[in-house]
Structure 1
Amino acid sequence: MKIFYRTRATATGGRSGHTGLDDGSLGFDLVSFQEQDKEGVNPEQLFAMGYAACFDSALSMTAQHMKLPVTASKTSAQVGIGMKADGSYNLEIELSVEVSGIDEAQAQQLIEATHQVCPYSNATRGNVDTRLEVTVV
């Protein structure tokens, strides 16, 4: 695989510690999802933000490739964490996409095609339950 970009982040203290980019440009205090009364973010929130941004960018690129006249898009990623029957933890994801400029059939084709090229989708495919929802506005 040809690498276009690489970054590195380091976490200390797990879900109650700190994480940040090694270049110092961004960092967050972490809290467990069970500690919502404390200030900070949790890994699922950070993952949701990254997935939403990546998918929305991939959608724009895919729309251009498919020659679809998308005039605007917005992607929301809802990430949940839970325990599987075997006692291990896993994520579940719901991607909600709003698009304008195309009809519903085109929008459905677009998000399915985008799901095939988005790096986050490719990284989670087969091991994370992911649902896609599209709305034309």
Structure 2
Amino acid sequence: MAEKLLFTGKTHNTGGRNGGTRSSDGQLDLRLTQPHPAAENLFGAAWSACFIGAIELAAVQRKIRLAAGPEVDAEIDLNVGDGSYFLRARLNVSLPDVDRELAQELIEAAHDICPYSKATRGNIDVAVNLV
């Protein structure tokens, strides 16, 4: 199957983690100040939004109607060890009114579907928890 570009996010950052960032479409315009972990929060927000879409797609693929929308709390840890920085992540997923076994199946499928999950696989420690 041929590849198709769906979207390109474009941002401009000045000053790194102590500056500002703005998207080319004007939807995002943030001041990044220390010690606020804006980068980790932005990453968590983007990943959790994508993960919800992946859960919904996994449900559609299985012909399952979700009575309530999925919810994801993302926790992105910035760590340092041996002089090197690294990330750890937890995605705490709630699927109200879905049987636990089916909910677990959907979040495992979503973790295989979500581009953020694919990008981090094998690169950072990730825990996906059904809560």
Provide the TM-score with structure 2 as the length reference. Answer: 0.90
Is the 8 Å Cα contact of residues 69 and 102 (structure 1) preserved in structure 2? no
Is structure 2 residue 69 aligned with structure 1 residue 81? no
In the alignment, the residues of structure 1 paired with residue 30 and residue 88 of structure 2 have an alpha-carbon distance, to the nearest angstrom, of 23
The one of 112, 119, 130 aligned to 2:115: 119
Query: What is the CA deviation profile of residues 61-88 of structure 1, one whole-angstrom value per residue up to 9, with x for unaligned ones?
Result: 1111122332121111111111243x22
In the alignment, the residues of structure 2 paired with residue 67 and residue 82 of structure 1 have an alpha-carbon distance, to the nearest angstrom, of 40
- Which residue pairs with 2:40 in the alignment? 44
Query: What is the CA deviation profile of residues 2-39 of structure 1, one whole-angstrom value per residue up to 9, with x for unaligned ones?
Result: 2111120011001110001023332100023xx24xxx
Structure 1: gaps spanning 5 or more residues: none
Structure 2: gaps spanning 5 or more residues: none
CA apart distance, 1:109: 0.9
Paired amino acid for 1:59: I
In the alignment, the residues of structure 2 paired with residue 58 and residue 71 of structure 1 have an alpha-carbon distance, to the nearest angstrom, of 16
For the residue of structure 2 that corresponds to 1:76, the secondary structure is strand
The one of 13, 16, 27 aligned to 1:14: 16
Paired amino acid for 1:15: R
Coordinate RMSD, CA, aligned: 1.5
Change (3 A) 1:84 1:3: farther
In the alignment, the residues of structure 1 paired with residue 11 and residue 23 of structure 2 have an alpha-carbon distance, to the nearest angstrom, of 4
In the alignment, the residues of structure 2 paired with residue 82 and residue 53 of structure 1 have an alpha-carbon distance, to the nearest angstrom, of 23
In the alignment, the residues of structure 2 paired with residue 25 and residue 106 of structure 1 have an alpha-carbon distance, to the nearest angstrom, of 36
For the residue of structure 2 that corresponds to 1:83, the secondary structure is strand
In the alignment, the residues of structure 2 paired with residue 98 and residue 7 of structure 1 have an alpha-carbon distance, to the nearest angstrom, of 28
Q: Percent identity?
A: 36
Q: How many residues align?
A: 128
Provide the TM-score with structure 1 as the length reference. Answer: 0.86
For the residue of structure 2 that corresponds to 1:95, the secondary structure is strand
